[in-house]
Structure 1
Amino acid sequence: MYRLGFIAPMILALMPIFPKPALAHGIDAGQPPDIQTPRPRIPQPAAGGAFDPHAVEGVVDQFRLWTTGSTLAGCFIGGPSEIQKFFVDSIQEIVIYANLKIDFGKPDAYNKCDGTPYHIRVSFDHTLGNWSYVGTDSTKIAYDSPSMNIAYATSAPFPSVDKIRLKGVILHETGHALGLQHEHQSPKANCEAEFDWPKIYSTFSKDYGWDQKKVDDNLRALISSPRLRTTPYDRSSIMNYYFAAWMFKNGSLSPCSSNENFVLSSVDKQTIAETYPKTAQEQVALINRYGEQSKPILQKLLTTDQQKQWSQDLIGSAAQTAAPGYKIDLTSTNITVCKDVSGVTINAGSNSNVTTCIGSSKDINVGAPGK
């Protein structure tokens, strides 16, 4: 279950109003949804055929990992010291499973974001919602801007904030910062078929002023776009998004309906350990596996040379931090090209085989491997 993500470059403007506390990472009646993680603005090639830029970026996000064994520098943009300390203490519960460290400085003087290139920059603005850039995306925006915001920490005076829920928010957003994405995006979750779309359209229009297109962009694309997964849907994951029972045709009986999760699941721990293993070689092998899994998905989506080149460049750029020099070829196919018996050699490309085939010496046959 590699939950590395894709979502469009936008932070929702509708957020809870202080001091009313809000659910940490879910949707409920009367609560503005906060379901998108921000993304750097990436120029996209013209759409064509089945091309879906959201889905392509979803695949690309599998590569937005930090180098295993490294220490990331963190800093804070505002927030009282008691909240900063709570944040630093909380993230240890997820970082401990990774061969990775996040250093926010000394407890009595945590790093202050000042434009220095800190990897992770945390703010606590109660008007901005709970969100985080995914993995290395945080280094692609201005260093004087936050890469993560924990609004719930200041949704009420700190002594009255639910600390169990707050820790859950922090673990969820730190999961994003390490490269994980929402678990319900897995195609194995099949949440697309579970939603009561007429009720959702009506409620979102009345409560949030969203038209059908905006609902589709934020829910259908979120759930149904091609994703890479290697384990079944994990309802107990800290990365699983909470959706209120009213949103499902079968209410709380829906397999996508769950309680809000505040602790790491066993699969979360396993995923973090596999994403940031003990050696760089293991992590490079993981990224290579992502590449092999990505090809069939991307081949179905990409219809022009421009789209293929854009995707290759995007993957290459995303993978550089964790696997410098990594490249993926989306244009070559696994075929066998025959040469004739007179010894004329055909250049079939790096992923193809050239062999002597049965047939006329004047024929050049192109077919599947072994044909």
Structure 2
Amino acid sequence: MTAHYCSLAQQPAPAFAPGLAAERVGALMGGRRMWVNGTVLHYYFFDGDTDGSVIPVPGSAGTRRVSWVGGRAQRDVVRDCFREWRDLGIGIGFTEVFDRSEAELRIGFQQGDGSWSAVGRDALLPGLHERTMNFGWDLTAPGERATALHEIGHALGMQHEHQSPFAGIHWDDEAVYADLAGPPNFWSRDRTFFNILRKLDPAEVNGSVWDPQSVMEYPFAAGLILEPEQFRGGVHTPGGLSALDKEFALRWYPPLDTPRPPALTPFRSAALSLGPGEQADFTVEPSETREYAVGTFGASDSVVVVFEERDGEPRFLAGRDDGGTEHNATIRARLVRGRRYFVRVRLYSGWGSGETAVMCW
């Protein structure tokens, strides 16, 4: 029997400026959805009577509202899976909040709408009244806890393993389309292609080898894969975080065991000696309340994020990504005297001289 499958919404391919060197494009593809390390992701469960989708009523001109609210047992499964990812020791935190305006991740439980998540920083794109993650079936059923681990993996920026070009999978395409068109998924050909048959760019996959044990891998029944031969009988996943899942998460989000970052003094630039994927962190404690600018300088592609410390926890304030452009990232934000702020700069790639700096003014 075919399993329920995660169903990501189709997104347009990223558009980069023409003429970019291949290594720059590769670095941008690999890091564009990843959070800066040290981010605390706040998650919110929809809980109101008016939280839901309005859908048409078959056979009439009317509509009805379908709730996004999940029961306590469903929410507890998701909470437990956030804890499992956190307990790896990664440099990303997870905190449940009860005000959707404070949440980067907003979670619904609309039955029949599939299970899916925004990938990484794409969660910042939907409006505050929209979901960034949904669970469309019972997470307490045997084997379904893996669905929550899988969707949180997407929220961290991870992709589907079976779409890796390193997997070397040769599908029986029509068998796949036929299988997914039936229960329990009822997918269109476009959705099946986007989530299964389409190959990802080598730069945006989770690693340089295929991991069939990954929580980001779908299980597949026999008869869908022609090659590699050992998977003609299907792909059977254990349903937990694999060794390579953990390695990927810790590589992108290493533990935050360093002392407090150095201060970024207004009007004094700080040189950045970073390689692709590396990050520099600074603190800012403004001496006066006013609008400040924080920006990078030099020939590089980077993302800059400013956090405000509240109750000992960094809260996202503003971010800017200059990846793929010839312009440096600059953020303007009102900083308040007596509060502490964190500036985090993550490099995609350096080009030209590769010499870069960050400054607050």
TM-score by length of 1: 0.56
Q: Match of 1:85? A: 76
Distance 1:64 1:127 in 2: 27
Q: Match of 2:9? A: 38
1:66 deviates by 2.1
Alignment of 1:66-81 (within 5 A): 66-77=35-46, 78-81=69-72
Pick the structure with greater CA Rg: 1
Q: Match of 1:262? A: 239
Distance 2:195 2:80 in 1: 33
Greater helix content = 1
- Which residue of the other structure, out of 283, 287, 310, is the alignment partner of 2:277? 287
Q: Match of 2:164? A: 186
1:244 deviates by 2.2
Distance 2:173 2:39 in 1: 44
Q: Does residue 134 in structure 1 map to residue 103 in structure 2?
A: no
Pair 72,149 (structure 1): closer, same or farther in 2 beyond 3 Å: same
1:266 deviates by 1.3
Distance 2:343 2:119 in 1: 14
**Is residue 108–residue 135 contact of structure 2 (8 Å, CA) maintained in 1?**
yes
Distance 1:209 1:150 in 2: 16
1:187 deviates by 1.7
Q: Match of 1:149? A: 134
Pair 45,90 (structure 1): closer, same or farther in 2 beyond 3 Å: closer
**Is residue 66–residue 322 contact of structure 1 (8 Å, CA) maintained in 2?**
no
Distance 1:209 1:168 in 2: 21
Pair 323,189 (structure 1): closer, same or farther in 2 beyond 3 Å: farther
TM-score by length of 2: 0.57
**Is residue 60–residue 314 contact of structure 1 (8 Å, CA) maintained in 2?**
no
Q: Does residue 169 in structure 1 map to residue 165 in structure 2?
A: no
Pair 288,183 (structure 1): closer, same or farther in 2 beyond 3 Å: same
Distance 1:40 1:228 in 2: 14
- Secondary structure of 2:45's match? strand
- Secondary structure of 1:243's match? coil
Greater strand content = 2
Residue identity matched to 1:81 = R
Distance 1:130 1:177 in 2: 13
1:170 deviates by 0.7
Post-superposition CA distance 1:95-121 (Å, at most 9, x none): 2111221111xxxxxx3454x141111
- Secondary structure of 2:94's match? strand
- Which residue of the other structure, out of 29, 52, 69, is the alignment partner of 1:60? 29
Distance 1:60 1:252 in 2: 31
Distance 2:215 2:79 in 1: 18
- Secondary structure of 1:99's match? coil
Residue identity matched to 1:137 = D
Post-superposition CA distance 1:22-63 (Å, at most 9, x none): xxxxxx65x7x74542366688589x9xxxxxxx79962533
Residue identity matched to 2:76 = K
1:327 deviates by 6.2
**Is residue 189–residue 256 contact of structure 1 (8 Å, CA) maintained in 2?**
no
1:132 deviates by 0.7
1:200 deviates by 3.5
How many residues are treated as equivalent by the alignment?
260
Distance 1:90 1:187 in 2: 28
Post-superposition CA distance 1:65-114 (Å, at most 9, x none): 2232332211101222232223212221112111221111xxxxxx3454
Pair 210,124 (structure 1): closer, same or farther in 2 beyond 3 Å: closer
- Secondary structure of 2:146's match? helix
Distance 2:178 2:163 in 1: 23
1:259 deviates by 0.9
Structure 1 unaligned segments of length 5 or more: list them.
1-27, 49-55, 105-110, 295-309, 333-348, 352-371
Post-superposition CA distance 1:264-323 (Å, at most 9, x none): 111111211111113589xx645159xxxx9xxxxxxxxxxxxxxx97149988xxx995
Q: Match of 2:285? A: none
Residue identity matched to 2:125 = K
